[in-house]
Amino acid sequence: MLEYEELLDSADMNSDDWWRIAKDIERTYDKYDGFLVLTGTDSMAYIASGLSFILENLDKPVVLTGSQIPICEVFNDARRNLIVAMIFAGRGDFHEVCVCVCGGGGGCAAHRLCVCARC
């Protein structure tokens, strides 16, 4: 597990931060079966899109998740998002960057980011 010393508001993140995440994944790539990135929802789609271009030829999942309500609150979406994202990160049947969030209606999904012409 890697936690950045200075936590950033996802709304303040830029491409330098995406590269930092990608380099950390690449540095530890052979140690793990998948990767889970916890981030704020403000820029989650941008981060995931950036990572999908930076991290080429994946043979394991990179899953991003976050929540609308902080995990410290009694009623939140963070716990379920985290658990479902961990399940997706541990699967070996897809090899790409995805965003995993659970909707208010109880449904959960890992959303693929397709960056190739055949998708």
User: Is residue 100 situated within a structural domain?
Assistant: yes
Dist. CA 98–CA 20, nearest whole Å: 18
**Number of domains present in the structure of the chain:** 1
**CATH code of the domain containing 77:** 3.40.50.1170
Provide the residue-wise pLDDT of the chain in tens; the chain has 119 residues: 777 777 777 788 889 999 999 999 999 999 999 999 998 888 888 999 999 999 989 999 999 998 888 888 888 888 888 888 898 889 878 889 988 887 665 555 555 554 333 33
Is-contact 107 84, C-beta < 8 A?
no
What's the domain range around 40?
Answer: 34-112
User: Is residue 88 situated within a structural domain?
Assistant: yes
Q: Are strands 108-112 and 35-38 parallel, antiparallel or unpaired?
A: unpaired
User: Is residue 80 situated within a structural domain?
Assistant: yes
64: β partners: 37, 99
pTM of the complete model: 0.82
